[in-house]
């Protein structure tokens, strides 16, 4: 995949001064999006960021991409975008905690497999509109080449050793350690591998990470919930403990200084609008201090400090439409899985087709030559 990397000329052309946070906008961004619950840290962060320092970036904003199009070009000509089908699916779905069904006769709901199909559909449509589209994964396989055995040392640091050294306790401890190592390989290790590939090889203008949300099981029972909603995420809302991490602070400042914040908010709002219009779902509301609502999004767009959003250096947006274990969401997913198992074409209101079409509409709104067309049709 090394041949996909952009030329040095493109990267050098992005050595630009920081213009996003002029005239006090940086302080406003820190207080409303990045450190909304940490007012005492805002001044120290302002002092550590030089708004005149040149910063390297490999991506281009929508205005620049549109300006390079000529008459006759397709609506998304010049756009280079990465689609990230979240999670993995398959034999890794249980490790990821993304594997369930309500009845033994139902189809297994595995998020990684569902969003892979959505990503492939989105790619076909975006390519037909002139975009260059790359996927972080093409199959139900990890991106991370390392496996559980490579994370045993880290897992030992995370799992508390037993007080008693009897055979039962030691066996249970060994199983917990290996389960933790499997999780590190399939989740955080895979996210790190995706981010590295995006930054070092693909170097796109934007990343869209595709997911399907789920709710906590009521009272721990395998029982469907009533609420079905959606939300969209961009990077922000650092917590106090996260601001004590040197690596997270470096990534946080990188996101501020490379000017990706503004464009990812534009893309996030466009995708939130298109998903809302397509699904007619209400917005999900965070009740804690781990996320903050983005003004003007009607509750659909939130800032949150997730690993992929923080690690990717270009504009990045993470989608969480539908509640997979809701009464309506589960019924629609079962219907979609059944048609595919039977080799039939998707139904008129197929949930995965609806999802893919909404993503395409959002990308067209954010990057298309005629941004009014997609959502007005």
**What residues make up the domain containing 360?**
2-142+203-376
In the chain, % of residues over pLDDT 90: 79
- Note the pLDDT of residue 370: 63
Whether 46 maps to a domain, the answer reads yes
- Output the average pLDDT for the chain: 90
For residues 78-90, give the mean pLDDT.
97
Whether 93 maps to a domain, the answer reads yes
The answer, yes or no, to whether residue 160 has pLDDT greater than 80, is: yes
Please state the pTM of the whole predicted model.
Answer: 0.92
Q: With contact defined as beta carbons under 8 Å apart, do 115 and 107 qualify?
A: no
For residues 322-326, give the mean pLDDT.
98
The answer, yes or no, to whether residue 371 has pLDDT greater than 70, is: no
- Note the pLDDT of residue 220: 81
The answer, yes or no, to whether residue 67 has pLDDT greater than 80, is: yes
Q: Where are the alpha helices (DSSP H) in 258-350?
A: 260-279, 307-311, 327-341
The answer, yes or no, to whether residue 259 has pLDDT greater than 60, is: yes
Q: With contact defined as beta carbons under 8 Å apart, do 162 and 169 qualify?
A: yes
Report how far residue 225's alpha carbon sits from residue 38's, in angstroms, rounded to the nearest whole number. Answer: 34
- Tally the domains of the chain: 1
- Note the pLDDT of residue 55: 67
Q: Worst-scoring range by mean pLDDT, 15-29, 44-58, 302-316?
A: 15-29
Place 18 in a pLDDT band, splitting at 50, 70 and 90. Answer: very low
Whether 29 maps to a domain, the answer reads yes
- Give the domain CATH number at 19: 3.40.630.40
- Note the pLDDT of residue 56: 74
- Note the pLDDT of residue 53: 57
The answer, yes or no, to whether residue 241 has pLDDT greater than 60, is: yes
Sheet holding 206-210, edge to edge: 132-135, 80-85, 206-210, 316-321, 230-234, 301-303, 292-293
Strand pairing category for 301-303 and 132-135 = unpaired
Q: What CA–CA distances, in Å, run from 195 to 6, 34, 363?
A: 16, 20, 21
Whether 38 maps to a domain, the answer reads yes
Whether 184 maps to a domain, the answer reads no
The answer, yes or no, to whether residue 230 has pLDDT greater than 60, is: yes
Whether 349 maps to a domain, the answer reads yes
Whether 188 maps to a domain, the answer reads no
Whether 358 maps to a domain, the answer reads yes
Report how far residue 75's alpha carbon sits from residue 367's, in angstroms, rounded to the nearest whole number. Answer: 8
């Amino acid at each position: 995949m090394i041949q996909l990397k952009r030329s040095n000329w493109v990267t050098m052309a992005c050595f630009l001064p920081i213009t996003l946070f002029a005239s006090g906008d940086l302080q406003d961004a820190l207080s409303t999006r990045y450190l909304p619950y940490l007012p005492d840290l805002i001044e120290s962060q302002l002092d550590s960021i030089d708004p005149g320092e040149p910063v390297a970036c490999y991506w281009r904003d929508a205005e620049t991409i549109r300006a390079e199009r000529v008459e006759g070009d397709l609506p998304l000509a010049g756009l280079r975008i990465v689609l990230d089908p979240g999670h993995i699916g398959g034999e890794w779905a249980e490790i990821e905690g993304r594997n369930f069904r309500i009845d033994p006769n139902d189809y297994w709901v595995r998020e990684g497999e569902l969003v892979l199909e959505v990503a492939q559909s989105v790619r076909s449509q975006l390519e037909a509109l002139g975009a260059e589209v790359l996927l972080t994964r093409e199959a139900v396989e990890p991106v991370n080449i390392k496996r559980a055995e490579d994370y045993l040392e880290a897992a030992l640091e995370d799992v508390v050793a037993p007080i008693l050294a009897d055979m039962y306790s030691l066996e249970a401890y060994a199983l917990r350690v290996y389960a933790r190592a499997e999780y590190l390989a399939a989740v955080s290790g895979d996210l790190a591998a995706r981010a590295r590939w995006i930054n070092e090889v693909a170097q796109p203008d934007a990343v869209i990470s595709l997911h399907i949300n789920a709710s906590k099981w009521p009272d721990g029972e395998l029982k469907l919930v009533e609420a079905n909603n959606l939300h969209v995420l961009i990077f922000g809302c650092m917590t106090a403990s996260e601001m004590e991490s040197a690596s997270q602070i470096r990534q946080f400042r990188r996101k501020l200084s490379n000017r990706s914040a503004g464009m990812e908010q534009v893309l996030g709002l466009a995708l939130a609008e298109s998903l809302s219009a397509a699904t007619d779902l209400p917005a999900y509301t965070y009740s804690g201090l781990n996320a903050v609502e983005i003004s003007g999004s009607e509750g659909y767009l939130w800032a949150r400090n997730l690993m992929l959003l923080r690690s990717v250096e270009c504009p990045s947006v993470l989608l969480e439409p539908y509640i997979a274990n809701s009464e309506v969401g589960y019924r629609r997913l079962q219907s979609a899985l059944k048609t595919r198992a039977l080799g039939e074409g998707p139904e008129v209101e197929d949930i995965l087709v609806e999802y893919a079409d909404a993503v395409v509409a959002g990308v067209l709104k954010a990057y298309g030559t005629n941004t009014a067309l997609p959502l007005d049709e």
